[in-house]
Amino acid sequence: MAILFALRGKGDAALATLLSSKVNQWTLLVGSLPIAYVLGGGGSALRLDSRQIEEFLLTATQTLLGVAALLALRFPRGAAWTLLGLFAVQFVLPGQTARYVLCGVYALIALAALIRNRRHLLPTLAAPFRRAPYASGSSREERISF
C-alpha cells in the first residue's frame, strides 16, 4: 500500500502507512508474545536466548530511530539512505558483536535525532490527548458520520 501511495506522489500517506504498520507490528509482537507463551504452558518468565535478545534489541533500536527521525513529520532523503544502509549492514555482518554495535549505532543516531527534533517531542506526545478543533459551519454529526 505504501508503495502505491509513493508511486502516486503521496509521500505523506506512504510514510504514515509505513509508520502505522511498523508500530502495529511492534506492539502486537511485544504484547502478544508473553501472553502466547503463558497460554502455551510456559512459566511466568519469558526466557530468550542470546540470538533472540539481539533481534529484540535490534528491532527496538530500529523502531526508536524511526520514531525519532519522524518526529518533525519530515523524512529527508539522507535519513532514508541511512536507515537503508544500516538495515543492509546487518545482513553483511551477521555476528553477535556486529548486532550489538549496530544497536549502539541505531541508539546514537536516534539520540541525535531526538535532540535535533526535541521541539516536536512534547507536541507529539500531547497530540492524542488534544481535541481537534471543529471546522466552522459544520455540525459534529456531519463530521462523525460514516
- Domain boundaries of the chain, sorted by first residue: 1-47, 48-129
User: Does the pLDDT of residue 15 top 60, yes or no?
Assistant: yes
The pair phi, psi for residue 42, each rounded to 5°, is -75, 170
More confident residue, 54 or 28: 54
The arithmetic mean of pLDDT across residues 123-129, rounded, is 82
Q: Is 145 a residue whose pLDDT tops 60?
A: no
Distance CA 112, CA 22 (A): 21
Rounded to a whole number of angstroms, the distance between the first and last alpha carbons of the chain is: 22
Give pLDDT tens digits for 69-113: 777 777 778 877 888 898 898 889 888 899 999 999 999 999 998
Write down the pLDDT at residue 27: 67
The size of the chain, in residues, is 146
Report the predicted TM-score, pTM, of the whole model to 2 decimal places. Answer: 0.67
pLDDT band at 26 (very low <50, low <70, confident <90, very high): low
Q: Please name which of 44, 23, 26, 27 lies closest in space to residue 35, comparing C-alpha atoms.
A: 44
How many other CB atoms are there within 10 angstroms of residue 82's CB atom? 17
The model's pLDDT over 54-73, given as tens digits with 9 standing for 90+, comes to 888 888 888 788 778 777 77
Q: What angle do CA 58, 20, 98 make, to 5 degrees?
A: 10
Percentage of residues in the chain having pLDDT higher than 70: 83
Positive or negative: CA dihedral 70, 74, 80, 81: negative
Q: Is the pLDDT of residue 141 over 50?
A: no
